[in-house]
Amino acid sequence: MKINWFKYAAPMNFYSLAGKMIPFFWIAAVVFTAIGLYIGFFKTPDAIDNGMKQYYRIIFVHVAASWMAMWLYGVMVFWALIGVIFNTRISYMLASATSITGTLMTIIALISGAIWGKTSWGTWWDWDPKLTTFLILLFVYIGYIALQSAIEDTRRSDKASALLALVGLAIVPVIYYAVNCPDPNQCASLHQESSLKRIEPNILTAMLVTTLGFWMYSFATILMRTKNIILQRERKTNWVANLPEVIAGGKK
Amino acid sequence: MKPRNKRIIFVLIALLGVGGASAMIGKAMKGNMNYLYPPEDVLTGKVPKGQVFRLGGLVKKGSLQRSKTSMEARFVVTDNRGNEITVVTNKILPDLFQEGKSQVSRGKMNDEGLFVAEEVLAKHDSEYMPKELKEVLAKEHSAPANKTTKMGDK
């Protein structure tokens, strides 16, 4: 069976497809996050050998949010570049919708990290390579959103912000390699390395399942936001005027 | 050439450029951004005198002394290769601070060769295992793996 992908590049078709998908993503988001956190809170050891007590359990939110912050940046750049290449408006709308969820995840990662840092390291913040580069990621996200909303003409704002997103992509690998370089003595930091090798199985399961839940949440919110952007940008078209929800809203 | 193909080529070249930039940032960070100094660098004079810097290393076992009358604490930071510096601080030591574990403290050397810390932070590794499991695993792999230890790690 050949699927015509470009069919869903039309905002009208994408709008109805997204509407059908959103409930499933919400259900999956709640189920996976609940299972992940349940395993994380009740099936994992109360203390870790390196001296951390129960407060290490913030890891399930912290790691999931940090991963999402970086992956969603990649998702955002992907859609922005698809937009640049194929000139599909829906791709730009997806990129724009992704940026908000990405920013939110970055903020959650920074705040949960600060709380964890205060309890374990002894400080809310330190200008450590990993923390600093992660803060830059937040600024790049904010820059993208600011640029997009600063230019009124959406065609131009989409293209300009797509290029900014592409340039900002340079920081993402640096976040990872800031603490994971081949010669450990060259990248000394306060933040521990990113490694899943020596980790208790239930802690790992909880982390991965919560992350899956965060992915589903991201999909749900990105699609919801994309639907809103479609309505906003296509408000002068007939199909929007004839949508049941628009007619119902107009009568109020 | 179709405009679309031109744009694909533009995007590919741009991605290569971004990759290159990323690699250079990573390289520059390693060369210039000395987040912390090990005791060896301090003892060999690589850190200018009177400068505030971060000292990283292990807390020597049995070296922690607390004053009975004040907040003052003293401990020795070592790299396990014989380079040692004594740290003096009157700040609260973090929860994870333990002898034999990593720490990062910020401060400067005084005239007596002591490191006066304004802040002492505990550093931990990425091993999230309860003690029992770690012991079981250690028995299974009784031959110790020759793992490269990261500066500041245990």
At B117 the three-state DSSP class reads strand
Structure tokens at B78: 């070592």
A-B contacts at Cβ under 8 angstroms: 149
Mean pLDDT of the B37-45 span: 88
Do the domain assignments include residue A122?
Answer: yes
The CATH H-level (homologous superfamily) assignment of domain B39-122 is Nucleic acid-binding proteins (2.40.50.140)
- pLDDT the model gives residue B135: 78
Pick the residue with more confidence: A73 or B47? A73
B141 pLDDT exceeds 90?
Answer: no
Closest CA to A60 of A209, A219, A195, A198: A209
B47 pLDDT exceeds 90?
Answer: no
B153 pLDDT exceeds 70?
Answer: no
B30 pLDDT exceeds 80?
Answer: no
Which residue among B7, B123, B152 places its CB closest to the CB of A121? B123
Structure tokens at A97: 């919708």
Q: Are A32 and A68 in contact (CB under 8 A)?
A: no
Find where tokens 């999931």 sit. Answer: A64
Residue of B nearest to A83 (CA): B7
B147 pLDDT exceeds 70?
Answer: no
Least confident of A155-159, B22-26, B57-61: B22-26
Could you tell me the residue range of the domain that residue A162 belongs to?
A: 58-203
- pLDDT the model gives residue B27: 80
Residues in chain A with pLDDT values less than 50: none
Read off the pLDDT band of B3 (50, 70, 90).
confident
Do the domain assignments include residue A7?
Answer: no
Residues in A touching B130 (Cβ below 8 Å): 45, 47-49, 200
- pLDDT the model gives residue B152: 47
Residue of A nearest to B13 (CA): A166
Q: Are B149 and B57 in contact (CB under 8 A)?
A: no
Contact of B12 with chain A, judged by CB distance below 8 Å, is answered with no
Percent of chain B residues topping a pLDDT of 70: 89
Q: How many domains does chain A have?
A: 1
- Look at the alpha carbons of A184, A187, A190, A191 in this order and tell me if their dihedral is positive or negative: negative
- pLDDT the model gives residue B33: 62
Mean pLDDT of the B99-120 span: 91
